[in-house]
Amino acid sequence: MTASSDRERFKNSVPTPEDRQSGERSLDAYRDVVRQWATGRLPGWARQGTDTSDLVQITLVRAWRHLEKLQGQPELAFRAYLRRILENEIVDRIRSAGRRPARVELADDLPDPTPTPLDLVLEEEFLATYGRMLDRLAPRRREALVLRLEGGHPYDEIGRLLGIKSNAARMRVARALVDLSDMIDRNGDGTAQHRPS
């Protein structure tokens, strides 16, 4: 086949923009060729719901929009044009997928992070009991324990704040925890015997 016969065949197969129905039939003839080129080219991680037939359709629609520019060109030029459109679409999809965070499937049985009404009641009850037990501790032990548990202070800072050495602060906190543990062991009624600080 000569270049002039190729040109003539393409000229006859590429419609003018006014001849829509003929153009659709003409492009339909390339559907299988474009499908063959597109099959397996887009990685699974970049698909995001796009399949091969979507790529084929996008390629043919984009080609249809520019048919008038290709009037009088050989069929090989049109095939190259189709291939370039397809390759650009694949590259765009891959780049786009690279910019998006990976999709993660969420399990159906994820726990609800919000506390239930029962959790709220139990927490309120715990805090009330904890407050009553703290009130029953010797004042110096209570002060050291609050600085450690609620303030999150290290022992050397607790010692500095209380005017004692850091080891003495560590011992006060430890003894306060033993006192709290004794109160809990006695059903939280706070009747444990207080030890001298």
Kindly report, residue by residue over 1-49, the tens digit of the pLDDT.
444 544 444 444 554 555 545 555 567 788 888 999 888 888 887 777 7
What value does the mean pLDDT take over residues 44-68?
84
Please indicate, yes or no, whether residues 52 and 86 belong to a single structural domain of this protein.
yes
Q: Which two tokens stand for residue 155?
A: 């022992």
Q: What is the pLDDT of residue 10?
A: 47
Please indicate, yes or no, whether residues 81 and 122 belong to a single structural domain of this protein.
no
Please indicate, yes or no, whether residues 75 and 10 belong to a single structural domain of this protein.
yes
**117 contact partners, CB below 8 Å, separation of at least 6:** none
Give domain status of residue 63, yes or no: yes
Higher pLDDT, 5 or 68: 68
Q: How many CA atoms lie within 13 A of 162 on its CB side?
A: 27
Please indicate, yes or no, whether residues 9 and 82 belong to a single structural domain of this protein.
yes
Higher pLDDT, 50 or 25: 50
Angle of the 20-28 helix axis to the 52-65 helix axis, nearest 10: 140
Last residue of a domain, one of 69, 99, 129: 99
Q: What is the pLDDT of residue 187?
A: 60
- Closest to 64 in 3D by CA, of 32, 22, 99, 106: 22
pLDDT at residue 106 greater than cutoff 90? no
Q: What is the pLDDT of residue 140?
A: 93
Q: What is the CATH number of the domain that holds 149?
A: 1.10.10.10
Q: What is the CATH number of the domain that holds 63?
A: 1.10.1740
For the whole model, what pTM was predicted?
Answer: 0.42
Q: Which two tokens stand for residue 145?
A: 């324990």
Higher pLDDT, 67 or 162: 162
Give domain status of residue 196, yes or no: no
Please indicate, yes or no, whether residues 66 and 34 belong to a single structural domain of this protein.
yes
What value does the mean pLDDT take over residues 80-105?
84
Domain, as residue range, for 91: 3-99
Helix, strand, coil proportions of the chain in percent (round to 5)? Answer: 70, 0, 30
Q: What is the pLDDT of residue 21?
A: 53
Q: Which two tokens stand for residue 82?
A: 């189709």
Please indicate, yes or no, whether residues 71 and 122 belong to a single structural domain of this protein.
no
Last residue of a domain, one of 71, 99, 127: 99
pLDDT at residue 153 greater than cutoff 90? yes
Give domain status of residue 20, yes or no: yes
Please indicate, yes or no, whether residues 7 and 95 belong to a single structural domain of this protein.
yes
Please indicate, yes or no, whether residues 122 and 174 belong to a single structural domain of this protein.
yes
Structural domain tally of the chain? 2
Give domain status of residue 52, yes or no: yes
Give domain status of residue 43, yes or no: yes
